[in-house]
Amino acid sequence: MGRRIDIVEVGPRDGLQNDPANLSVDQKLEFIARLEAAGVRRMESGSFVSPKAVPKMADSPAVFAGLDRAKPTRHIALALNETGVRRAIEARADEINFVLVAGEGFGRRNQGMSPQESADMLARCAPLVLEEGIPLSATISVAFGDPYDGDVDIGVVGSLAAQAQRAGVAELALGDTIGAATPWDVRRRIDRVRMEAPDVFLRMHFHDTRGAGLANVFAAVEAGVDVIDASCGGIGGCPFAPAATGNVATEDVVWMLERAGFETGLDLGRLIDTAKWLETVLGHPVASSLSRAGAFPV
């Protein structure tokens, strides 16, 4: 048995939140069901943010209401404030992922918060989640660079991680919202977070905006990280990040890892079929390499 790497599928949330297409609730549920059929067991299925800020996620309560709860999938809801956390609990989210922000410029535009204000908001919201017995995770957005302010101080990332640990976060992702990370910086920031928040489990969240996405996944896996976010087709991006592009594509990450002997538990053929199906419902091509080239060996 190879080492196990768990993929968290973020297509239904990070992927669809910024796509020009407007999928119906039924189409979103079909996307989720296809991902489940491909073996996905943990997925960001929606976000509970202001519908004015992100109209494409306004139907997340309806999506959560339509989920097939008999399946073993853990459905994650994204939240950025107390209203969001309460709405996610109401929707019976299996896990809540809270968004911290490492840059002031992006933080103000994305969520109306400075980095410290996002940490204070988490400290306020965490007890609401924990007392319901719901697993709490967090993502530090723009952890490698802010589209408005430029470089992000590694000390800010470390401090947010320490505060997340104190708040009771079980798993923390470093989010490269705009594709600013390099493999060497990935290593440095992982080391720093491990020093400042030794008890949290690490996950990584990369966008392939500048071509370093898979190299960054490699660096994270080499550094011992066992959980990677990815979106089927490589769709998506953040509406508040200029020139945003999608996450590393699930099928590309799975192919690379499985070919190297890691186990993801995902069915590559079904992922590729789902990426191709996505092209038909989105009305445009998706970005992943495997959906074009297919797997190797054939």
Spot the catalytic one: 160, 238, 241, 287.
238
Stretch in the footprint of ligand COA (CB under 6 A) among 76-84, 147-155, 185-193, 283-291: 76-84
Among 25, 33, 37, 53, binds ligand COA (CB under 6 A): 53
- Nearest approach, Cβ of 86 to ligand COA (angstroms)? 8
- Nearest approach, Cβ of 297 to ligand COA (angstroms)? 38
Q: Which does 225 bind (CB under 5 to 8 A by kind): ligand COA, Zn ion, none?
A: none
Stretch in the footprint of ligand COA (CB under 6 A) among 25-33, 43-51, 221-229, 245-253: 43-51
Stretch in the footprint of Zn ion (CB under 5 A) among 6-14, 34-42, 74-82, 104-112: 6-14
x/- map, 10-49, Zn ion, by CB under 5 A: ----x-----------------------------------
Burial of 20 (0-12, 13-18, 19+ CB in 10 A): exposed
Residue nearer to ligand COA on the CB measure, 49 or 217: 49
For residue 238, indicate whether it is catalytic. Answer: yes
- Nearest approach, Cβ of 236 to ligand COA (angstroms)? 10
Contacting residues toward Zn ion, per CB under 5 A: 14
Catalytic amino acids? 238
